[in-house]
A and B are shown apart, each in its own frame.
Chain A
Amino acid sequence: MTRKQKRLAVIGGAMVFLALASGLTLYALGQKTSYFYMPGELAGAQIEPGQRIRLGGLVEKGTVIRGEGQDISFSVTDQVGSVTVAYSGILPDLFREEQGVVTEGTLRQDGVFVADSVLAKHDENYMPKEVADGLKANGLWQDEN
């Protein structure tokens, strides 16, 4: 091989590598991302069974039921709609009634959302950003300032 051919081979190899990497990234973006919904949007949304989504809203007051062991169910509401969430595990420290929460999991046929993770991530004002945006849109929550 001449020097030029070698150089072309190296550049070609790099190109193939980059193409593979971008392909992988695009595929993963299509497969491994999950959409965020508020309970009110869930009714109208087209969600395939088994598709992972994230559901956020306020924990509805008086709906937290602790079952056998670590089974827990509660409703997440955005005042427009309300969805029952079933979860098994330890709830985060900041999980409280009437506080913002983001859960991740799949929607069962009977409309119960089976969550495998419950997050009460938040900023200093204790409100997850997506939830705050969603609630603001519904006029349920305003910034304090």
Chain B
Amino acid sequence: MGDVVTAGAASWWKSHKPSKRRIIQVYSALLYNAHVRGFAEGKIFTGKSKVLCTPGLNCYSCPGAVFSCPLGSIQNALGSLNKNIGFYVFGVILLYGMLLGRTVCGWLCPAGLLQELIYRIPAPKIKKNRITRALSRLKYVILAFFAVILPVWYGMVRGVPVPAFCKYICPVGTIEAAFGLLPANPTWRSMLGSVFTCKAVILAAVILACVFCYRAFCRFLCPLGAIYGMFNRLSVAGVRVDEERCNSCGACIKDCKMDVRRVGDSECIQCGQCAASCRQNAIGFSMGKMHVIRKVSAAAAVLLLIFMLVWANFIEAPKVGYEGNALHGSDEGKVLSDFTAVCIDGSTFDLEDTKGKVVFINLWATYCGPCVTELPLFVSLYHEHKDDVTMLAVHANLTTEDVAEYIAAKGWDIPVAVDDENETIFGIVNGSQALPQTIVLNREGEVIYNEVGSVSEETLETLYEKAR
């Protein structure tokens, strides 16, 4: 009896065990999102590993993400070309493209893994055809317009950074970041508007499409896949055809679910599944001189994952914000703890001196589009009620350019300070890792408003009236 059970289990395992590719996909997804506690706490990871970009698509606003997203980083770099050329991210993308090409898509992308799992849902499947082949060109249009032209236009010409693909389309950002952060940050739900609605609809459409159409997002929408596809024929690693053995039967193309015309072209995700179709044994996976990586044992990979899990969740986890006492705090109704800040114009802002006035504190950054869009409204309010209002705009402790120069160029003459490296002011006002954030105090120093998200002119006036 015991032998029968064991044989049955062995047979089940043999038919269900994950392939090496699936194991590597799951491993990559775990490694990229090792900050597991972020999902429970609703906080993103801010450790130094975020200087590194993952090869695959993984939103850096995901509470689990311990690395940066290459696509988001490209858009940010393009949007600030007039300030600082993003050599680093361009070099990283070139490196990944040249080493791996779309091997990233087939083996190292969590979004690809998710789509393949969704495709396993039993449903009629749409086979590739002329329409899907034509649709596969769409991702190049999306790359050009949303990932290049719009960020350059908004960032360099309009002076408002907008990573347009992230903001308007990316379903990975919606599912990882928006849905990842909202449960633990219920007050953020008031921010949800038309942009979120559109993105949620796009996410739903992509998920539905992936049930019927293999890797619909990869094939038709992903700009990163479009970029890596351009390197496919040059990349060191990838699927290769032995031309001497190949008899051009086309079985590999016929069986491939992607819109390939030949193995290894720009649509090929280098998954290597075509090797099973080839009766000539002409297809194999080549890693060039990177074959030494095979010698890195699974144990080393597991050790790396364990290290990242421990480091991201216990050693380098985001610090908890300042905890006020029963009277003081950053919640509505509490009195904000006193602090002083040296402004960039040399003056000193002392919260204690502001009693009797309405206080507006705005948390912002030069690289935050909605922040730089709304700050002029604060400037107008300040000038309109100068005798009655005290204002302080606090730039995040991390800067990408000279804030004083930026302010001077914009002509904003409200008090502006840059938070220190310990994020003292952000901590006192319970500043989150998302910007912008506005805090309003009444004349008694009590918090009447403390929310993340943009504010309109009407909202500011309403808050002023309420605080008076």
Do chains A and B stick together as partners?
no
Interface residues of B (CB under 8 A from A): none
